[in-house]
Amino acid sequence: MGELRADRAVCIGAGMCVMTDDAVFDQDDDGIVVLLNENPEVDEKVRSAVDACPSGALSIREE
């Protein structure tokens, strides 16, 4: 488990997260990451999106 966090101040809008899992991630009109729902399940795909994010904007807070 764990809680997914997206730091919009750090995001560079590379879109890797959306490419990896577009059920959880989206980009707003400025290209900055938004989470499609508040507390998504942290599965394999979400973890690989976190790894793929080049800017370090995504993190998982383990509970």
Partner 1 sequence: MTETARTRPDQGMAEAPSGPGLEGRSVEELPLHMRRSGFDPAPELRAIREGEGVRKIRTPFGLEAWMVTRWSDVREVLGDAATFSNEWQPQRRMAGLPGMPKRSPEELARMRAGNLLAFDPPAHTRLRRMLTPEFTGRRMARLEPRVREIVDQHLDAMERAGSPADLVADFALPVPSLVICELLGVPYEDRAEFQRRSAKLLDLSRPMDERMRAGDEQRAYMASLVAREQADPGEGLLGMLVREHGEDLTTDELVGIANLLLIAGHETTSNMLGLGTLALMDHPDQLALVRDDPDAIGPAVEELLRWLSIVHSGTFKTTTRPAEIAGHAIAEGELVMLSIPAANRDPALLEEPERLDVRRGALGHVAFGHGVHHCLGAPLARMEMRIAFPALLQRFPDLRPASEDRRFRSFNVVYGMESLPVAWGGA
**At its nearest, how many Å lie between partner 1 and the CB of residue 48?**
7
Token pair for residue 6?
A: 């997206």
Those residues with Cβ within 8 angstroms of residue 51's Cβ, 6 or more apart along the chain or in another chain: none
Of 3, 5, 7, 31, the one binding partner 1 by CB under 8 A: 31
Helices (H), the chain: 16-20, 44-52
Beta-carbon neighbour count of residue 53 at 10 Å? 23
Q: Which residues, 2 to 61, sit near ligand SF4 by CB under 6 A?
A: 6, 11-17, 25, 27, 33, 53-55, 57-58
Which residues form the interface with partner 1 (CB under 8 A)?
A: 12-16, 18-20, 27, 29-32, 48, 51-52, 54-56
